[in-house]
Amino acid sequence: MQRSTYKLGMTVQTTGATSHVATKRTLPLLVESDHPEQFSLFPDELGGGVVITQDEILQLSCVYSRFYEIYISRLSARLSDQFDLTKSSTRMLARRALVPLIHCFMDRLVRIKKAIDCAPGQLTTPRQELFPAPDTVEAFEECSVTSPAFNQSVIWFVGRVWQLPESDSVPEKQPFALQVGFKNNLFDLYPRTPWGLIKNRWLKLMALLPKSRFPTLGMSNATGAFFHHGFYSKYLGDVSSHWPLAVESQNRTLRETLFSDAFIKNSELSEFLAKLGLGVKEEHRAYEILGEFLRLYYPTSLLEAIPQNMNHAAQALRPFKKKALISSSGRGVCASYVVAAAKRTGLTIVDHQHGGHYGYIEDMSAVLELEYPGVDQFVSWGWLRLPDHPSVKGMSVIGLPSPWLSERKRYWAGIKGGGEREFDVLLMPNMMKRFPAAAQGASTARIDLIQEVGASLKHLVREAAAQGIRILHKPFNPTTVNLLAQTMQELESIGGSYYVCEQQLDKGLTYELVERCHVVVWDQPGTGFLECLSSQIPTMVYWPRLYNHEEVWAQPIFTELERLGIVHRSVDALLDELQRFKKSPHAWMNDPERASLISRFCREFAWTSDDWPEHWQRYLDGLSNG
């Protein structure tokens, strides 16, 4: 494995086959390849590709965040003049498009430069047709994460910065097939009974009665909890935010005006490109090609079709008289329009936590760049401290019990404890995406670390089998299985009779899965870990910090979790604790010091309460009177 370094304001590592450097030859730069006569931009489980390290991702997140702010400020001012909208509204719309577009361009730019440095004078770009511009930013995001054809086209597109010679086109790789029959178990909160069906019908009728309710953009996994406890008959009303999104033909004149050279150029970008190692001519071409990229791929649904979609959003809000808009589901394009319309009329924007990582994991870029901006108040699962980031300026945080976690805790109350189990461990690792998402930060697993993830899994299964610990492995989804195909085969061989891989890859835990295993083991402290802790399901984390880290202020409590055998940095520590658990599960779960620590951790990051409806009623009453 050959490694070379250069300065990007930090040290950068690049990986590629040794023969790439040792011998002069023409190497087509492909999105994926294990052929010795080709160069792969992205790594796979067997090696190759170029890698952006964890430290580099953290630094790039800060750099990209400054780029977003510069371009959002510039474009929102122009959109405000063009469409006679408030800047608070156009900032929401500009951000929703610019963050994924700029991240995609810059990420591929950095990777191609690293590939060039690894194989200087040897790379070519296969001749490509332009990938058709998606009409929506969601479609663009899907292409950037899943489509080899799109990413191969971007390699050719961005490669023109260095005027890489063209080579013959290559056969198009296909996206992975989607799973058939997928179910999200996180939404299972209540048993299906005749009385439950009658109650649901009654609540639906009550929700239709004309009352003054808060407009909501969906409450994510907490929707069922709010509905079950009558909030949709008194406090909450769904905004109709799924209209057929208007799209238009591209207005070339408008796009040339908006994404001009003056719009693109700025000192921050110039400094970054220089540190990346671009010469003056390459820097100039980078400006031109970034402008061309935005003119081509900026979605019409967020530009030419702004008037129609803003009108739909305004109509969706018209029935509501409350002065706050509540959301808990991220930012789809229609939802972004509703928030923009709410901003225009002066509504308070309230967002509600809908998963783990919030408050304790470093560099949650997708949340920092696409969820927090524009929010006036964020309702957390107990924590109050925000990171030092421009997107959170002016946003306050209030902690309330999580309706979803509180109801899932009740859901799990009937789980059978103790007794013999088929497996010692239910292994629940995180997902791996085929290509970098936007905005990709340092809080989630990514393709750069696929070799380390595969090696970590094999090491865990090998050592567990040696100690007679039986593992039921539930990969996150079929994409992860496809990316780790050889690793999955090796795990079967390594684990032998002590290892079984679950085939139905639905999301989340089920009674059947939990009752087959003694302990649920995660590879990072995410939503499922919080659910297990708050529901008193035996759980541990094997967390070597491969792809994410805790925030500095959360380090003390995670150190305590390590000391008491809940979080582990090494396989040896995890297996030792599992053996202690097996000797006396009841004593392990009821150890006073461990139970007290779990209670403190949950109160800060996974607050549950049987009285959560009262907490939320008081909060919403105060919001009504505020």
pLDDT at 19: 40
- What percentage of the chain has pLDDT greater than the value 70? 92
Cα separation, 474 vs 477, whole angstroms: 9
Write the burial class of residue 62 (CB in 10 Å: 0-12 exposed, 13-18 middle, 19+ buried).
Answer: exposed
Q: Is 46 left (phi over 0), alpha (psi -120 to 50) or beta?
A: alpha
How far is it, in rounded angstroms, from Cα 330 to Cα 235?
Answer: 21
Residue owning tokens 């000391």 = 563
pLDDT band at 329; cut points 50, 70, 90: confident
> DSSP characters for 141-181?
HHHHHH-HHHHHHHHHHHHGGGTPPEE---PPPPPPPPPSS
pLDDT at 218: 84
**pLDDT beyond 90 at 303:** yes
Listed in sequence order, the residues at least 6 apart from 428 whose beta carbon sits closer than 8 Å to its beta carbon are: 474, 476, 509, 520, 521, 522, 523, 528
Q: Give the start-end residues of each E strand in 192-343.
A: 214-216, 236-238, 324-327
* Beta carbons within 10 angstroms of residue 544's beta carbon: 16
Per-residue pLDDT band for 236 (boundaries 50, 70, 90) equals very high
pLDDT at 562: 98
528-529-533-539 Cα dihedral, nearest 10 degrees: 110
- The Cα 564–Cα 104 span in angstroms is 41
Given a cut of 70, whether residue 358 has pLDDT beyond it is: yes
Distance CA 32, CA 257 (A): 36
Rg of the chain over CA atoms, in angstroms? 25
Question: Is residue 428 within 8 Å of 522, Cβ to Cβ?
Answer: yes
Calpha distance 96→301 (Å, rounded): 11
Q: Is the peptide bond before 305 cis (omega within 30 degrees of 0)?
A: no
Closest Cα to residue 554, out of 577, 521, 525, 513?
525
Query: What is the structure's pLDDT at 570?
Result: 98
Tell me the mean pLDDT in the region 481-506. 96
DSSP for 389-457, please give it: -GGGTT-EEEE---HHHHHHHHHGGG---SS--SEEEEEEPPP--SS--TT--SSS--GGGHHHHHHHH
H/E stretch holding 380: strand 377-380
At 281 the three-state DSSP class reads helix
The β-bridge partners of 80 are none
Q: Is the pLDDT of residue 203 over 90?
A: no
Q: What is the mean pLDDT of residues 169-191?
A: 80
CA 334 to chain centre: 19
Fold of the 188-245+305-401 domain: Rossmann fold (3.40.50)
CA angle 356/54/506 to nearest 5° reads: 40
The stretch 370-385 carries a mean pLDDT of: 96
Short-list 356, 409, 415, CA closest to 608: 409
Query: What's the chain's average pLDDT?
Result: 91
- Structure confidence by residue, pLDDT tens digits, 422-445: 999 999 999 999 999 878 888 889
pLDDT of residue 416: 76
SS3 category, 352:
strand
| pLDDT on residue 417 | 73
**Which backbone phi and psi does 499 adopt, to 5 degrees?**
-135, 130
Return the higher-pLDDT residue of 580 and 505.
580
55-81 tens-digit pLDDT: 999 999 999 999 999 999 999 999 999
Q: What is the mean pLDDT of residues 389-400?
A: 94
CB count within 10 Å of CB 354 equals 22
What average pLDDT does this structure show over 476-482? 95
User: Closest by alpha carbon to 294, among 250, 331, 336?
Assistant: 250
Domain with CATH 3.40.50.2000 in the chain: 407-605
**Of 157-166, 181-190, 249-258, 381-390, the least confident:** 181-190
**Which stretches of 478-570 are DSSP H helices?**
478-483, 485-495, 511-515, 527-535, 555-563
CA gap 602, 42 in Å, rounded: 38
Lowest mean pLDDT among 274-278, 310-314, 462-466, 507-511: 507-511
Question: Is pLDDT at 466 greater than 70 in this prediction?
Answer: yes
DSSP 546-592: SS--B-GGGHHHHHHHHHTTSEESSHHHHHHHHHHHHH-HHHHHH-H
The one-letter code for the residue type at 354 is H
504 pLDDT above the threshold of 90: no
pLDDT attached to residue 14: 45
Query: Looking at residue 175, what is its pLDDT?
Result: 87
pLDDT, one tens digit per residue, over 534-568 is 999 999 999 999 999 999 999 999 999 999 999 99
Contact 277, 6 (CB under 8 A): yes
- What tokens does 21 get? 């450097």
How large is the average pLDDT for residues 362-380? 95
CB 100 within 8 A of CB 137: yes
Percent of the chain exceeding pLDDT 90 equals 80
Is residue 75 within 8 Å of 98, Cβ to Cβ?
Answer: yes
Say if residue 45 is exposed, middle or buried (CB neighbours under 10 Å; 0-12, 13-18, 19+).
Answer: buried
Predicted confidence band of residue 114 (pLDDT cuts 50, 70, 90): very high
For residue 410, pLDDT beyond 70: yes
How does DSSP classify residue 323? S
Mean pLDDT of the region 254-282: 97
Identify the pLDDT of residue 202: 58
Determine the distance from the C-alpha atom of residue 46 to the mean position of all C-alpha atoms in its chain, rounded to a whole number. Answer: 25
1.20.140.10, 3.40.50.620, 3.40.50.2000, 3.40.50.300: CATH of 407-605: 3.40.50.2000
H/E stretch holding 199 reads helix 194-208
Of the pLDDT bands very low, low, confident and very high (cuts 50, 70, 90), residue 569 is: very high
- Average pLDDT rounded to a whole number, residues 191-218: 70
Residue 243: its pLDDT value, please? 87
**pLDDT at residue 467, as a whole number:** 97
At residue 327, does pLDDT exceed 90?
A: yes
CA dihedral (58, 63, 68, 69) in degrees, to 10, reads 110
The pLDDT value given to residue 183:
81
Asked whether the predicted pLDDT for residue 95 surpasses 60, the reply is yes
Both ends of the chain: CA-CA distance in Å?
A: 62
Mean pLDDT calculated for residue range 596-600? 98
